[in-house]
């Protein structure tokens, strides 16, 4: 069954959004296969977002992701990669529809509370990176 990597970013944790965010995915019917709370090293953040290393905001993005603990989540279910991205909403909260996580919980693209893998291939890479110990 398909799996995706979801991460509640430091602002989501600091703003007490862990429970409301998890609730949306679990109520939809996806199954938890991994869940942990961790602080992120600079090298892990840089590897995770390696595709964006040439972007002007890359340094700020790495600082953001390493600014406090995150919640790393592995979810499983039918079409969970694409459906998870729909539940999350557009990258820039200014464009995220109300009813999506970013549409409901944030304002700034640089503080957009959550990550979700953008393809099945990215999900496999990211789950291996964040859960090297494997999943249940
Ligand atoms: P994520 O990978 O975090 O789920 P995404 O796939 O919607 O987000 P990406 O293009 O992969 O969007 O960008 C990764 C992250 O980089 C965004 O979620 C956001 O936090 C940050 N980011 C993207 N564009 C900008 C920007 N123009 N200015 C500042 N930060 C940005
Ligand atoms: Mg992305």
What digits encode the pLDDT tens for the residues 83-118? 999 999 999 999 999 999 999 999 999 999 999 999
- DSSP β-ladder status, 31-38 and 3-8: unpaired
* Helix (H) or strand (E) run with residue 117 in it: none
Q: Which residues contact 121 (CB under 8 A, 6 or more apart)?
A: none
- Rounded distance between C-alpha atoms, residue 112 and residue 124, angstroms: 23
- By the 10 Å C-beta count (0-12 exposed, 13-18 middle, 19+ buried), 16 is classed as exposed
Please identify every residue whose CB atom is under 5 Å from ligand 2, which is an ion. Answer: 118
- ipTM summary value: 0.96
Does residue 99 line the site of ligand 1, with CB under 6 A? no
Q: What is the DSSP letter of 66?
A: T
Best substitution site from 9, 53, 56, 61 to test ligand 1's pocket, by max atoms within 8 Å of Cβ?
A: 61
Band (136; pLDDT cuts 50, 70, 90) = confident
Ramachandran category for residue 89: left, alpha or beta (phi over 0 → left; psi -120 to 50 → alpha): left
Q: What are phi and psi of 114, to 5 degrees?
A: -155, 150
Assessment of whether the complete model's pTM goes beyond 0.95 = yes
pLDDT grade, residue 72 (50/70/90)? very high
């Amino acid at each position: 069954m398909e799996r995706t990597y979801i991460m509640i970013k430091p602002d989501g944790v600091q703003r007490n959004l862990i429970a409301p965010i998890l609730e949306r995915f679990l109520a939809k019917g996806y199954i938890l296969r991994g869940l942990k709370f961790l602080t992120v090293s600079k090298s892990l953040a840089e590897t995770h977002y390696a595709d964006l290393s040439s972007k002007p905001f890359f340094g700020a993005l790495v600082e953001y992701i390493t600014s406090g603990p995150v919640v790393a989540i592995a979810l499983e279910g039918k079409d969970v990669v694409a459906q998870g991205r729909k539940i999350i909403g557009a990258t820039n909260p200014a464009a995220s529809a109300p009813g999506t996580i970013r549409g409901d919980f944030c304002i700034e693209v640089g503080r957009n509370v959550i990550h979700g893998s953008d393809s099945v291939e990215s999900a496999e890479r990211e789950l291996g990176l964040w859960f090297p110990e494997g999943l249940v």
